[in-house]
Structure 1
């Protein structure tokens, strides 16, 4: 069945003139959302009407999430879509159950939680892609880049997305061995603590690998813009900073790594949605995990840390500058 599904994803036949709604957990200025939305438009936009809504949950305080979700649900009811694509955990948590109760098929992407956090994952009107950072593959790759250096700090915000991803892979442990490398995992939403881990990291680790850092606030409760946070981290770090996601790689950002691609997640979600639009019940479409990572690197980051990729990796890598 899985082989058959993958074959269908490659051709992704489309029927015409349907209405597709995309609900983003975050906002269009956030590169993850922009990349997957562009991919969805590429697959579905020529033949279907696509309407996108932002929940903006990385910037809005949690007290305002339900009100924003209610407004979006009313808009969706007016549109009467044939399928709704939900991006990431917050959109799924806020929107999935009301949608399926109305009989609207749901395709998700970027969801890290399982059925314990999201019971609607088991609903027959739901299918999609469970986003999973490539922890094992990333560390194996970075050991080759760093050569004989194998002490890593995995630094993430303390968001539902990161908690779910870490817990599924490592359980309750916050220290682990992966391919002989020693990992310590830190999740925090406090800007001072996050930066302190970056600044002092060289005392304990050989490198830092960042996850999402988009729910971080300062001591006064002010939101810390992710790009500004990474600019400061890059300037103050004394050891290389890599990433599990391609959206955090660039000038004065992460150096790179074996990363999850928002664009690929969006393409796959759109192809799953096309199957639903062609009459295949979501319950007949197996839920997938992130299908493939890719090597993404910043040229200036490699130069800054005097790192060199092997010819084989360089030939497969995408360079963002």
Structure 2
């Protein structure tokens, strides 16, 4: 069935113009959101009426979320969309049930939680892409880049997104071995703990691999921006930093890796939405996991760490400054 759906995604023609709403958890200036939204628009934009509604949950205080949800629900009532595309866990948890209760089909992307966190995942009107880091493929790839150095610190914030991803793959374990490589997993929302892990990593590890780091605060409770964390980590670490996500790669950020692509997630979500608008019921489309990653590397990061990719990997990689 999965192969059939994938084939239909590639050949299904566009239907007559319909109204599509994209509800983003965050905001358009956030690179993950802008990447997947542009991908959705590249597939559906010419033939459909697309409206982007932002929950802005990274910048708004949690106490302000209910008012924002009410505003978006009012917009949904006015637009009466034929389908909704929801980006990431917050949009799904805040909006999905209301949409399916109104009879509106939902396609999601970037969702890390399961049915325990998001009961609406079991609705027959819901399908989409469960976002999952490529743990095994990333480690196998990085062993080749580092040439036998294989002790990794996996460093993430202690957010629902990362807890779900780690628990699904590793269970309760915070140490594991993949392809013979040692992994220690640290999830924390404390700035000092996060940075101390980076500074001291050379004592035990050959490299760091970062997940999301968007819920980290200092001792006074002040929010620490991801850019500030990564630039500090880049300057202070004595081992290279890689990433599971392409949005964290660049100058004074992580070097690269085999990464989840927001653009690819957006393309897949748009193609699933197109199937539904062409008459395929959502409950006939199995929920997928992140389908394909890609190699992304920072030219400045490779130079800084004196690393060189093999000709084969370099030929497949996208390079950023």
| TM-score (normalised: structure 2) | 0.98
Name 1:182's counterpart in structure 2. Answer: 182
Distance in 2 (CA, whole Å) between partners of 1:73 and 1:11 is 33
Whole-Å Cα distance in 2 between the matches of residues 127 and 105 of structure 1?
8
Look up the SS of the partner of 1:50 in the other structure. Answer: strand
Distance in 2 (CA, whole Å) between partners of 1:248 and 1:38 is: 18
Distance 1:273 1:215 in 2: 31
Match of 2:287 in 1: 287
Partner residue of 2:160? 160
Aligned-partner Cα distance in 2 for 1:154–1:82: 41
In structure 1, runs of 5+ residues without a counterpart are: none
CA distance in 1 between counterparts of 2:305 and 2:137 reads 22
> What's 1:132 paired with?
132
RMSD: 1.1
Q: How does 1:240-259 map to 2 (within 5 A)?
A: 240-259=240-259
- Secondary structure of the 1:117 match is coil
Output the CA distance in 1 between the equivalents of 2:293 and 2:205: 25
**Residue 296 of structure 1 aligns to a residue in which SS?**
strand
Secondary structure at the counterpart of residue 58 of structure 1: coil
* Structure 1 residue 4, shift from structure 2 partner: 1.5
What is the match of residue 15 of structure 1? 15
Deviation of residue 179 (structure 1)? 0.8
Q: Note if 1:24 corresponds to 2:33.
A: no
> How many residues matched?
321
1:76 positional shift: 1.0
Does structure 2 conserve the Cα–Cα contact (< 8 Å) formed by 1:259 and 1:295?
Answer: yes
Moved beyond 3 Å, runs of 4+: none
3-state secondary structure, aligned to 1:309: coil
Deviation string, structure 1 residues 64-93 (Cα, Å, up to 9, x no partner): 222222221111111100000000111111
Instruction: Name the structure 2 match of 1:115.
Output: 115
The Cα of 1:21 is off from its aligned counterpart by 0.5
Q: Take 1:154 and 1:67, find their aligned partners in 2: how far apart are those partners?
A: 36
1:53 Cα deviation from its structure 2 partner: 1.3
State the Cα distance separating 1:125 from its structure 2 match.
0.2
Task: Please report how far the alpha carbon of residue 306 of structure 1 lies from its aligned counterpart in structure 2 after TM superposition.
Answer: 0.8
Q: Which moved more, 1:122-131 or 1:226-235?
A: 226-235
Alignment of 1:171 onto 2:171: yes
Mapped partners of 1:253, 1:11: distance in 2: 38
The TM-score normalised by the length of structure 1 is 0.98
- 1:222 deviates by 2.0
Secondary structure, counterpart of 1:120 in structure 2: helix
Any residues of structure 2 matched to 1:88-237 within 5 Å, and which?
A: 88-237=88-237
CA distance in 1, matches of 2:219, 2:277: 47
Q: Which residue in the other structure is 1:37 paired with?
A: 37
1:51-70 equivalent positions in 2, closer than 5 A: 51-70=51-70
Q: CA–CA distance in 2 between the matches of 1:193 and 1:151? A: 20
1:270 aligns with 2:270: yes
1:259-299, Cα deviation, whole Å (9 max, x unpaired): 01000000000000011111211111111111111111011
